[in-house]
Amino acid sequence: MYRARRLMILGLAVILLLSALLSGCRSEPEPADMYVWEEEITAPTEPIPITEPKNISYRDNVHGAYPSCSVYPAGNDEGFYFSRVGTDLCYYYSFSEKSTIRMCSRPGCKHKDESCLSYISDLTCILEANGTLYAFCQDELSVRLLKIDPATGNRSTFYAWEGSVGEKYYMLNDCFYSCGRIFTTVNMVDGLSTILLQSIDLRDGALTTIAESSDLGSGEFLGAYGNYAFINWHGLTEELPKMEDYLKEHPNETELDYYSYINRFQKEHTGKQIRKYDLITGEHEDVYSLLQMGGTNAPDFNLTGSYCAFGKYLLYSLGKTTVCRYDMNSGEARELLTVENLWGAKLVDDRLLYWLLEEEQIKVRLRDVDTGEELIRENEGDNKALAFTVLGESATSFHGVYDDKLAWISKEDYYAEKYNRSVFYPT
């Protein structure tokens, strides 16, 4: 339970630790709801020209924002939604206004209960998709997915996983949005615990169970794009032969023989798969060896410490030195970089941001994927470039961690290394 969220929290902890190490032990600025650093740093480098994101659709494969650790605010080009820990209240922060808006304009409202348009009881996670806000609410038994009109605060239940006392309950482990669908990882407990990997089509509300854990195996989402979802699967690589088929083929054997055969079969056919599910037909194929690109190294999806899908791409490494990118749309895998001392990597703005651990120092590089050109060079990869740790993006800004706090920065300022122009989230 909560594995994905634990991973995310762990990821944030690592990032915060990293930022703390990099920023040293300077004293905390005065607490304030939000403020902008106007101070210019000396001798700024020339900004890298910002082009439209070439391939990345930053709106796809975006994970839900959890108020308990607001790492991923639910954003769009104009701003983002977020909730303050322990309040069940939803707010909107506007980039252009540089201000926080409570989603309730009811005169006299005390913003304390369900009558308030900003109040979402049992709020556990929010997602923004095409101008609509989706909120997951978790109580002791059930999970509800609300669809909320941000302009009015009006909401309706879009889908509900209904538990029942003493029989079963549901827990939301993780969720993300991609290409018109919300993908959920839900734990159903009815004596046994079953992980359900599901998708909800936002056009018609149809829920599909793509895969579920069983004795035969289990998996987790890597990402999704178009009509395909990708699941990292551990378990049987071939279907268990049925007893009647086996006995038909081996007329002289008994049921006991079948079970010892199954024992051997399970040992021989257990392995890892990267399953590509066709969301229309429900069929899946294994693309594990395709991602190995002719080698023997296992694809490793832990380059970022959290998620590995960026728009239509999955980012992974082979043999701890090679960074590869898999296009979930075209099915093409491509090597982006081979380098010693690789510490981590992610895609930002369709560029490869990677960092190396050399002589106990973190060195940061930014590379144009198409030309191989290194983009942050002014300080020779000084770890200053990690001062702002990118966790997500919109068309014009990055959000992430700066000065140990969650913040956003315009891409222009980021590329000009004016990290002190970051704006802190009012969480």
Task: Give the footprint of Zn ion on this chain (CB under 5 A).
Answer: 104, 109, 111, 116, 118
**How far out from the chain centre does Cα 350 lie?**
16
Please report, to the nearest 10 degrees, the dihedral formed by the alpha carbons of residues 37, 38, 39, 40 taken in order: 110
Q: Is 10 helix (H, G, I), strand (E, B) or coil?
A: helix
**Tokens representing 91?**
């707010």
Q: How far is the CB of 150 from Zn ion (least distance, A)?
A: 14
Minimum distance of Zn ion from residue 109's CB (angstroms): 3
* 252-268 CB burial, b ≥16 within 10 A, e <16: eeeeeebeeeeeebeee
Q: Are strands 99-102 and 309-310 parallel, antiparallel or unpaired?
A: unpaired
- Least Cα distance to 174 among 193, 187, 191 occurs for 187
What's the min distance (Å) between Cβ of 128 and Zn ion?
20
Report the C-alpha gap between 108 and 157 in whole angstroms: 26
Nearer to Zn ion, 104 or 298 (CB): 104
Rounded to a whole number of angstroms, the minimum distance from the CB of residue 111 to Zn ion is 4
Q: Which residues contact 111 (CB under 8 A, 6 or more apart)?
A: 89, 102, 104, 118, 119
Do the Cβ atoms of 73 and 81 come closer than 8 Å? yes
- Shortest reach from residue 175's CB to Zn ion, in Å: 26
Question: Which is closer to Zn ion, CB of 106 or CB of 269?
Answer: 106
Across-strand partners of 172?
186
Q: Using the minimum distance from each CB to Zn ion, give the nearer residue, 61 or 118.
A: 118
| Least Cβ distance, residue 90 to Zn ion (angstroms) | 10
The smaller minimum CB distance to Zn ion, of residues 116 and 126, is found at 116
**Which residue type sits at 341?**
N
- Name residue, tokens 């992610």: 346
Q: What spatial distance separates the first Cα and last Cα of the chain, rounded to whole Å? A: 26
Nearer to Zn ion, 111 or 405 (CB): 111
Q: Name the token pair of 134.
A: 């989706």
Q: Which is nearer to Zn ion, 118 or 304 (CB)?
A: 118
* Residue among 53 and 67 whose Cβ is closer to Zn ion: 67
Q: Whole-number minimum distance, CB 86 to Zn ion, in Å?
A: 17
CA-CA distance, 3 to 5, in Å (whole number)? Answer: 5
- Cα(228)–Cα(210) distance, integer angstroms: 10
Which CB atom, from 123 or from 353, has the smaller least distance to Zn ion? 123
Shortest distance (Å) from residue 119 CB to Zn ion: 6
